[in-house]
Structures are given as structure tokens and as C-alpha cells.
Structure 1
Amino acid sequence: MGKVRIGIIGLGNMGTGHAKYLVNNEVKGAELTAICETRPDRLQWAKENLGESVQLFDNLDEFLASDAIDGVLIATPHYDHPDVAIKAFQNGLHVLCEKPAGVYTKQVRQMNESAKASGKVFSMMYNQRTNPLYTKLKDLVSSGELGEIRRTNWIITNWYRSQSYYNSGGWRATWAGEGGGVLINQDPHQLDLWQWTIDMMPKRVRAFCYFGKHRDIEVEDDVTAFVEYENGATGIFVTTTGEAPGTNRFELSGDRGKIVIEDGKLTFWRLRVSEREFNETYQGGFGQPECWKCEIPIEGKEKGHMGITQNWVDAILHGTPLIAPGEEGIKGLMLSNAMLLSTWTDNWVDLPIDEDLFHQHLQAKINQSKVKKDTTYQTLEVKGSH
């Protein structure tokens, strides 16, 4: 295979962004050859802007069965990601899926099983994994510089959204339209990075989600969650769309110090000896380990969406390891599902969650939603930037 022929499903803001860099040949080894979209105005835009060589489809099955593509980039509404991906795998196609992987883990698990059975290359659009701040953090943790993780705290409250934002689309912030609020719409990158950088998922979660607390919406817009890890570490995740000015601060405490990512900087307060060793040997009463404040140099630039797409294409053509394997999309979603389920049941939730119980609660919310859920990806306007 000389080039990977890519078809995009969904031409909203995100799909349009992907189409632009692909048609401009900014991803080596890739060629945009087809678009699947049901809205006539977006197909007309594609016809006028993407060139005659890009085939246009308004039927998903015909698109997937065509001989025009080797892989698909899915940029449809959340609920449809797994279903569309499964169909693509069944048609022998590689898949790159926009985040989140889906709305509930039971559906995403079926997608992962289909991906494995197909043998095709499956990646998630977790473009923040290309951010050198987080790749450096992952390196420091995995190399043992921070020692054993003891606490994780992420305050991510700079997702401010006004009521007019929610009023701009009838599907926004509804259980039937999006399947959740700040956790599923704004936070998928942080939930992914939270577990990816430390290579550790919590063993249980206790969360408090507030629904329509700051805005006239159905879904959660304010969340505080507490988690426990198998090694005894604990963590806090705080998020909202109703706070200004907001904060984005990720703090990790370990046996050998503390790392903070905030305002685009990574700062490491490094202990000269581990806290454990100091505690075992120090005899002076009051006192603490010697600590050095280190401004860690960050090299490279975030490669963003194009970086993930390039990596996916390289994996198809050359077997390059994936930055964001598609099967890992279930991890961040598991965290958001657990937070909602903990709130709905007013109790601790063990991970992995009871997927059937979560789906029952979600279905009850969908049945009460102000918009009717339709299972076809064409029904809801394809969402753009979140």
C-alpha cells in the first residue's frame, strides 16, 4: 500500500478540520478520497472545496462498501461512534475515531471486540497525548523519578460555557443527544490523560455530580469525584462549565516529590531522598526531606489532531506503535461512567463498573430527555469543537 485512502464520516467542525489538512496533503502517506455526510449543505461545501477526486456519499452502508477507502475517520455524534466503527471493521476498514469512544462502556467494549476480530488498525483521536507537557510527565512517572504515586488531583474548571452555548443546538446537554455533560463533552482528554500519564486506573470511585446546577440543562455541569487506587493512593477530579475564571491544574504527589502542570509549565519539587527513607531514618522530630524546585524543560510542540492522524497512517503503512490505541478509549469513559453511576446510586462504584446497571440508569434518563433519541448517525447535527 503506497497511500492510505481515507474517508471521513461526518462533516461538522471537527470533520471539516480533518478534511482540510488531509486534502492539503499535510499527512504523509494519506489521501482523502471520500466523505459521508447526509446534510446537503455540507456535501455542497465538500464538492466546492475538496476537489473532484473526493467521492461524496449520503448513505453510510454504500460508503463503507465502496472501493474508495482503506480507513475511516469518524466524526459523528457520541452515541454513534461504536456502531459506525463496528460497521467499518466489518467492512475490513481501519478506524480512527474522534473522542469520546462512546457514551457507555458496554457499547465501547463491543467496538473493541470488533476491532480485535478485524485485525485492523484502530486509534482514538486523543491528540493531547502528543502534548509534550503530558508526555514528559508520563516519562517522569514511568522512569520512577516521582516514586510511588500517592495522590492525584486535577482541577479542570476552565470549560466555561454560557447558556447561549447550550441553546445553540437542541441536542446539546441532553441525555438523548449527547449522553452527558461536562464529563462526556469537555473532559474526555483530561480523563484519558489522568490514567494514561500514571498508567493506573482507580479501583473505586465516589462522585457527586450536579445536574443543571449552573445552567438550564439536563446533564451534569459540576462534578467532584474522589478515587482510590490499588496501591493505597487517592485522587480528586473536579470539573465544571459554570465557573469563571477557571483553573487547569494537575498535581501528582509521589514518594519522591510533587509534580504540577499548570499555565503551560511542568514543575517538579524533587526530594533529595524519598519520603519513605526520610521517615525511617530521621530522628530530629520536626523536619522534612530536602526539596529542590525544578523547572523541567519541555521540548517539542504539540502535534495535535494531525499528529494522531499521521501516527495512525504510519501504523497502517509501517507498523508504527500507536500513540492512542483505540481500545484504550474505554478507560476514560469508564471513569466518567463510574462518576455518574456513583451519583445515581449514591454509593461507591467499583471498577470495572456494572455496565448493565449503568446502561439501565442511562436509558431511564434518555426516556425522560427533552429530545428523542434516534439511532441513526444522520439525525443529530455532527458536533464540532467542544
Structure 2
Amino acid sequence: MDKVRIGIVGLGNMGSMHTRYLFQNEVAGAELTAVCDKQPDRLAWAKEEFGDRVARFDDYNEMLASGAVDGVIVNTPHYFHPEQAILAMRQGLHVLIEKPAGVYTKQVREMNGISAASGKVFGIMYNQRTNPLYAKLKDLIASGELGEIRRTNWIITDWYRSQSYYDSGSWRATWAGEGGGVLINQNPHQLDLWQWATGLMPKRIRAFCSFGKHRNIEVENDVTAYAEYENGASGVFITSTCDAPGTNRLEVTGDRGKIVIEDGNMTFWRLRVSETEFNRTYKGGFGQPENWKIDISVNDGMTQFDMGQHKGITQNWVNAILKGTALLAPGEDGIKGLMISNAMLLSTWIDDWVNLPIDEDLFYEKLQENIRRSTSKKKVGLPQILDTGGTY
């Protein structure tokens, strides 16, 4: 194979964006050969954009069986990501799914198992992993520059969404249609980066989620969570869609200093000696380790995937298919951030600490209770192609 023939399923905001750069040959070794959506107006748009050079389908299974594609990019509502990925894998196709991996980990675990048995390349659109800021943070932590992590704090409240945004689709901000709110829609990238860059998954979480705070919606839109880790470190994660202006500040403190990412910049307060060493040897009472404030350049050697982020992940996925290149964002990784968001919701629902990995059956039970009360006109069902209008 010298070229990967790609089919796009779901022509909302994200799906249509992927079609454009693929059709314009901006990903080496990739060719857009098919699109699929159940909405006639979206297929009419595809015909106008691409003519007959790209096959159009209103049935997902027909596209999978057509022989027109070697891999698919899935851009449908969250509930359908695992189901549609599994259908493609069983047809012997490679898969790249948009975030999140799904709504509940029990479903995603099944998808991961089928992927492992399929032998196909399975990726997830964690495009923020291509961001040089977070790539550099991961590098500094993995190399030991920061020492053992002791504390993380992420305030990510610049996801402002008005009531009109939520009113723009009957599926939005409902348990049946979307499966959650800020944690499943806006924050999958941050929840992924939180564990990916630090290399740490929480051992337990206590969270406080507010549902419909200052908005007429069903799902969570304001969250404060506290996490504890096996090495004794702690973390705080705060997110909201109703703060104006919002904040995006990540602070990671280790034995050798502190790194802060804010406003597109990275600052490293590096200790001259580790805090552990200073504490062991210092005898002066009041005092603290000498530190140097360093503005970190994130460009040198950290931009190999920085090709517009989404294109970078797609290029990496195509390279993995054609050349065996390691995936920057393996699809199996999607369960990690989802496990954290599921734990935050479950902690709120039971009003208690939740250990990770979570009780997946209990989470599913609680989710179904909310779905039964949901006002969404689009209920969860069998795999089908829906025009989501995007998930951002």
C-alpha cells in the first residue's frame, strides 16, 4: 500500500474540517475517497465540494463494505465512537476516532480489546498532544528535570458556552444525546494531557460537579475535583463553561521546582538543589531553596507533529499504517482520560471518594438512570450516522 484511502463518517464541524485538508492533499500518503452522513443536506454539501471524486454514502455499513476505503475517521456523537470503530475493525479497516473515546469506560474497554485482536492501526484525535508546550512538559518530567511530581493544579475555565450554544441542538448537554457536559465535550484534551504529560493516573478522586449551573441544561458544567496518586502527590482540576473571562493555567510542582503553563508560555522555576536535599541539609530555620526563573523555549525539537494539530495526528496515523511509525495518540489511550471523567461524575453521584479503576457497572447504572430522565429527543440506540454539528 502506498496510499491510505480514507472515509469520513459524520460531516458536522469536525468531519467537514477533516475532509477539506484530506481532499487538498495536505496529508502525505492519504486520499479522501468516501464520506458518510445520514443527512441529505450534508451529502449535498459533499457533492458540491468534492464532486464525484469522493463517494457518498448515507449508510455506514455500506461504506465499510464498499471496498472504497482502507481506514475511517469517526466524527459522530460520543456514544457511537466505540460502536462505529468496532464495526470498522471487524471489516478489517484502520480507525481514527475523534475525542472522546466514548461515554463510559465499559464500552471503550470492549473497543480496545477488539482493536488489539484486529491488528489494525487505531488512533484517537488527541491533537493537543502535538502542542509543543505539552510535549515539552512531558519531556521535562520524563527526563527527571522536575524531579518526582508532588502536586498538579489545572484551572481550565476558558470554555465559555452561552445558553444559545446549548440550545443549538436538541442532543447538546443532555445525558441521552451527549452523555455529559464539560468533562465529556470540552475537557477530554485536558484530562488526557493531565495524565499523559505527567505519567500519573490518580489512585482515587473526590469531585464536586454542578449540573446546569447558571444554565438550563441537564449535565455538568462546573467541576472541582481533587485527586490523589500512589506516590503521595495530589492534584486539583477545576473547569467550567460559565466563567467570563476564563483561565487556562497548569501548574506542576516537583522535587526540583515548578513548571507553569499559561497564556501560551512555559516558565520553569528550577531549584538549585532538590527540595529533599535542601530540607535534609539546611539548618538556618527560615529559608528556602534558591531557584532560577527560566522561560522555556518549546520550539526546538518539539514540532515534529505540530502541523495544525488535527492534521498532525492524521499524518501520524497514516504514517503508522504505511510505515509502522509509532502512534503519538494510540486509540487505547482514550480510556485513561475517560476513566478520570467517569470517576469525577461517579464521585458526585455517590457523594464519596472513587477509587480508580472505577466500578464500571456502577457508573453505567448511574448513567442509565440519568438517561432515563433525559429530555433529549435523540436517545441512545444502535449505531447510526448523525450530523452532530461538531463536538466543540
- Give the TM-score taking structure 1 as reference length: 0.99
State the 1:48 CA deviation.
1.2
Q: Could you list the runs of 5+ residues in structure 1 that have no partner in the other structure?
A: none
> Which residue does 2:127 correspond to in 1?
127
> Which residue does 1:354 correspond to in 2?
359
State the 1:379 CA deviation.
6.5
CA contact (8 A) 1:171 1:380 kept: no
Counting only pairs closer than 5 Å after superposition, residues 126-145 of structure 1 correspond to structure 2 as 126-145=126-145
Which amino acid counterpart does residue 13 of structure 1 have in structure 2? N
* Residue among 322, 331, 340 paired with 2:336: 331
Percent same amino acid at aligned positions? 70
Q: Does 2:196 correspond to 1:189? A: no
> Which residue does 1:51 correspond to in 2?
51
* Residue among 364, 375, 379 paired with 2:381: 375
Give me the whole-angstrom Cα distance separating, in 2, the residues matched to 1:74 and 1:326. Answer: 12
Give me the whole-angstrom Cα distance separating, in 2, the residues matched to 1:34 and 1:336. Answer: 33
C-alpha spacing 1:123/1:31, structure 2 compared with 1 (3 Å): same
> Which residue does 1:277 correspond to in 2?
277
> Which residue does 2:289 correspond to in 1?
289
Q: Does 2:386 correspond to 1:384? A: no
> Which residue does 2:152 correspond to in 1?
152
Secondary structure of the structure 1 residue equivalent to 2:357 = coil
Q: Deviations over 1:234-275 (max 9, x none)?
A: 000000001101000000000000000000000000000000
State the 1:51 CA deviation.
3.0
Give me the whole-angstrom Cα distance separating, in 2, the residues matched to 1:377 and 1:190. Answer: 28
Q: Superposition RMSD on alpha carbons, in Å?
A: 1.0
- Structure 1 moving runs of 4+ over 2 Å: 300-303, 376-381
Q: Deviations over 1:300-356 (max 9, x none)?
A: 653210000000000000000100000000000000000000000000000000000
State the 1:385 CA deviation.
4.9
Secondary structure of the structure 2 residue equivalent to 1:184 = coil
CA contact (8 A) 2:80 2:384 kept: no
Q: Deviations over 1:159-206 (max 9, x none)?
A: 111111111111110000100000001000000000000111000000
> Which residue does 1:229 correspond to in 2?
229
> Which residue does 1:41 correspond to in 2?
41
Give me the whole-angstrom Cα distance separating, in 2, the residues matched to 1:346 and 1:59. Answer: 43
Give me the whole-angstrom Cα distance separating, in 2, the residues matched to 1:169 and 1:276. Answer: 53
Which amino acid counterpart does residue 374 of structure 2 have in structure 1? S
> Which residue does 1:209 correspond to in 2?
209
Q: Deviations over 1:102-157 (max 9, x none)?
A: 00000000000010010000000000000000000000000000000000100000
> Which residue does 2:169 correspond to in 1?
169
Secondary structure of the structure 2 residue equivalent to 1:258 = strand
CA contact (8 A) 2:204 2:354 kept: yes
> Which residue does 2:254 correspond to in 1?
254
Give me the whole-angstrom Cα distance separating, in 2, the residues matched to 1:371 and 1:288. Answer: 56
Deviates more, 1:52-61 or 1:180-189: 52-61
Give me the whole-angstrom Cα distance separating, in 2, the residues matched to 1:374 and 1:353. Answer: 23
> Which residue does 1:245 correspond to in 2?
245
CA contact (8 A) 1:96 1:123 kept: yes
Give me the whole-angstrom Cα distance separating, in 1, the residues matched to 2:353 and 2:19. Answer: 43
State the 1:381 CA deviation.
3.1
Give me the whole-angstrom Cα distance separating, in 1, the residues matched to 2:335 and 2:389. Answer: 21
CA contact (8 A) 1:308 1:324 kept: yes
CA contact (8 A) 2:36 2:385 kept: no
C-alpha spacing 1:224/1:169, structure 2 compared with 1 (3 Å): same
> Which residue does 1:82 correspond to in 2?
82
Secondary structure of the structure 1 residue equivalent to 2:183 = helix
Give me the whole-angstrom Cα distance separating, in 2, the residues matched to 1:130 and 1:313. Answer: 15
Paired residue total: 386
CA contact (8 A) 1:338 1:349 kept: yes
C-alpha spacing 1:313/1:333, structure 2 compared with 1 (3 Å): same
CA contact (8 A) 1:77 1:377 kept: no
CA contact (8 A) 1:177 1:380 kept: no
CA contact (8 A) 1:204 1:350 kept: yes
State the 1:380 CA deviation.
4.3
CA contact (8 A) 1:77 1:383 kept: no
